[in-house]
Amino acid sequence: MLHYLKIENFAIVEQLELHFSNGLTIITGETGAGKSILIDALSLVLGERADSNVVRHGSQTAKIQATFTLPKAAIIWLQNTSDKCSVCRIVGINGRSKAYINDQAVSVQTLRKLGEYLIDIHGQHAHQSLLKTDNQRQLLDDISSNKQPLEQVKQIYQQWKTIKDTLDGLGGEDREAKIAFLRYQVQELEEFELTTESIAKLENEYRRLANAQQLLENSQQALNLLDNDTGNTTLSYLCQANHALEEVQQHDSKLANIITLLENAIIQTQEAVGELGHYTQGLDIDNSQLQAVQQQITSLQDLARKHRIRFVDLPQHFISLTEQLDELDNYAENADRLQIKLTTTLQTYQIAVAELHTQRVQMAQQLSKQITAEMYRLGMPGGKIVIDVNPDEDSLPTSIGTDTIEFLVSTNPGHTPKPLQKVASGGELSRISLAIQVITAQSNGVPILVFDEVDVGIGGGVAEIVGQLLNNLSQQRQVLCITHLPQVACQGKQHLQVSKTIQQNSTHTSIKILNQQQKIEEIARMLGGIEITSQTIAHAEEMLQLTEK
């Protein structure tokens, strides 16, 4: 649920704070007042693309803050300890933005993912996208609660495509050219010992030779501190301390353990002195060897740049090139192996596609009945929707299966259903779209639903039905609805009025929560236009009273 929204210097809003209730929130206002700014702000704070145009003229940044109660899925995804969540988005005049969840900086992608758990926005142009067959297929897949068949098809398709791309890469007229080029690359790399161990050894050798002088000086300094002819050394002091305690240990047995520790320390120090002596004697400052190692590393770095990889990735790259060359050299054998694998994967894909097709047919029948029932309620009693799902067995595999899905409609009894774009008028399409949005909203698990003037082209008794549909939805979800219909507006539990003023050549948009009397006046305005009569006021009061029963 959305509890709180604060907007600063966004579009034509200077500053605005709103607290939201549950249920149905209605947003109204004159045409051009900026009703959609609220939706735009919500979209922005939940990860939509931002640019400098959203920053109010004369300001440096636009800032949107929102507070939500999270559904369980979002709590788990965020690993939140509470169901409360604050979100913030700041956009600068340079178009760059910053995003925060619970005061922690996050990426815009993370913000957008959170938004998928929280809100579903149904825009006023949804009926236009409904005409596209890709969107019709997406709608049918989205409404299904079981996503496994589609995911299975996607995974197997990727396996099939990988095998096919590999197989296609083995053949072709340029195979000999590929072999020649790969052989040249492999031979170029074979001149070097390219293993992970050899690269690490070479780097270690370079560091040792490059720092040989400092290694020698520091080792000699450590050796002098541990043992030298002056007697003022660590080993000398350890021996003196041990001797002093040995002289008195017969007087207290507790000293025995300390003496043992000192004896061990003396032995280990003597061993360290011996090792350091051997180390310093064997440490040569060999500039010629350093240059040779440095030249070898430089050659490998140049080679890595030539192959457009990192220096440390050379061993794995060499293995990859060798494997590719082997596959091409053994074309017939590898092609047969891949062809068998491709055929097997295609058979598995076809089984998965058949399962997906069965599910889509079931969902199409269910959704068709639901949409048809809603069309009847929305003033199209003779209307009927048929969702046609046809498998195209001759088509190549795709990540979404091989079904052709099309929404067919009949707006009059006895007429054969035909494609939406060929039959439905603008008003009919708006009502069909609204019916679909209401049904899909009921199946969607997000807690916040936003309807942005989806009731365009609807009026009269149908508008009253639309208001009731939205009110029914708000019993389970929080619903925000921008509307120009008084029949819808009177259904709201909370009513926000958007207004725009011009002061000193500057445009300002404000939003206020209406009390009961203000609701009556706003609905009367929507009913009567410019001139508000006592009859209009009475009509508005009656509409509100009827919805409250």
Alpha-carbon distance of 210 to 202, in angstroms, equals: 12
Tokens 């009945």 found at? 369
DSSP 8-state secondary structure symbol assigned to residue 71:
P
pLDDT at 173: 58
Per-residue pLDDT tens over the stretch 202-249: 778 777 777 778 888 888 888 888 888 777 788 888 998 999 998 888
Residue 65 contacts residue 5 (beta carbons within 8 Å): yes
Termini Cα distance of the chain? 26
Which residues, in sequence order, are CB contacts of 418 under 8 Å at separation 6+?
408, 409, 410
The proportion of the chain whose per-residue pLDDT surpasses 70, expressed as a percent, equals 94
Residue 343 contacts residue 397 (beta carbons within 8 Å): no
Residue 160 contacts residue 344 (beta carbons within 8 Å): no
- Does the pLDDT value for residue 473 go beyond 90? no
- Does the pLDDT value for residue 90 go beyond 90? yes
Can you tell me the mean pLDDT for 356-371?
A: 93
Buried b / exposed e over 401-431, threshold 16 CB at 10 Å, is bbbebbbbbbbeeeeebeebeebbeebbbbb
Alpha-carbon distance of 444 to 423, in angstroms, equals: 29
Can you tell me the mean pLDDT for 60-89?
A: 91
* CA neighbor of 431 nearest in space, from 442, 418, 420: 420
pLDDT at 315: 83
Least confident of 11-20, 461-470, 502-511: 502-511
Q: How confident is the model at residue 129 (pLDDT cuts 50, 70, 90)?
A: low
Please state, in angstroms and as integers, the Cα–Cα distance from residue 388 to each residue in 339, 363, 367, 420, 444, following that order: 34, 11, 11, 12, 23
pLDDT at 389: 94
Task: Specify the pairing of strand 478-482 against strand 448-452.
Answer: parallel
Task: Specify the pairing of strand 104-106 against strand 97-101.
Answer: antiparallel
pLDDT at 150: 94
pLDDT at 529: 65
Q: How confident is the model at residue 398 (pLDDT cuts 50, 70, 90)?
A: very high
Q: Which residues pair with 91 in a beta bridge?
A: 62, 97
Copy the structure tokens of residue 487.
């029949």
- Give the DSSP H/E element, type plus range, for residue 6: strand 2-10
Which residues, in sequence order, are CB contacts of 281 under 8 Å at separation 6+?
none
Highest mean pLDDT among 61-70, 447-456, 495-504: 61-70
Alpha-carbon distance of 376 to 366, in angstroms, equals: 16
Q: What is the CATH code for 2-124+432-514?
A: 3.40.50.300
pLDDT at 282: 75
- Does the pLDDT value for residue 524 go beyond 80? yes
pLDDT at 493: 92
Alpha helices, H only, 407-533? 420-423, 426-443, 460-473, 486-489, 516-528
pLDDT at 156: 96
Enumerate the domain spans of the chain. Answer: 2-124+432-514
- Does the pLDDT value for residue 295 go beyond 70? yes
- Does the pLDDT value for residue 326 go beyond 80? no
Distance, CA of 438 to chain centre: 26
DSSP 8-state secondary structure symbol assigned to residue 55:
B
Least confident of 3-12, 32-41, 471-480, 510-519: 32-41
Least confident of 76-80, 332-336, 542-546: 332-336
Residue 521 contacts residue 513 (beta carbons within 8 Å): no
* CA neighbor of 175 nearest in space, from 324, 18, 10: 324
* CA neighbor of 543 nearest in space, from 526, 499, 530: 526
Highest mean pLDDT among 15-29, 169-183, 219-233: 15-29
Can you tell me the mean pLDDT for 365-378?
A: 88
- Does the pLDDT value for residue 257 go beyond 80? yes
pLDDT at 171: 62
Q: How confident is the model at residue 528 (pLDDT cuts 50, 70, 90)?
A: confident
Alpha-carbon distance of 269 to 235, in angstroms, equals: 7
The proportion of the chain whose per-residue pLDDT surpasses 90, expressed as a percent, equals 30
Average predicted confidence (pLDDT) for the chain: 85
Predicted TM-score (pTM) of this structure: 0.61
- Does the pLDDT value for residue 127 go beyond 60? no
pLDDT at 114: 92
Distance, CA of 290 to chain centre: 49
pLDDT at 366: 92
Alpha-carbon distance of 8 to 460, in angstroms, equals: 38
Task: Specify the pairing of strand 384-391 against strand 84-92.
Answer: unpaired
Copy the structure tokens of residue 90.
């700041």
- Within a 10 A sphere around the Cβ of 96, how many other Cβ atoms? 12
- Does the pLDDT value for residue 122 go beyond 90? no
The three-state secondary structure class of 83 is coil
pLDDT at 89: 95
Distance, CA of 203 to chain centre: 39
Highest mean pLDDT among 130-139, 175-184, 273-282, 481-490: 481-490
- Does the pLDDT value for residue 412 go beyond 70? yes
pLDDT at 444: 64
Q: How confident is the model at residue 252 (pLDDT cuts 50, 70, 90)?
A: confident
pLDDT at 427: 65
Alpha-carbon distance of 74 to 106, in angstroms, equals: 15
Alpha-carbon distance of 64 to 84, in angstroms, equals: 17
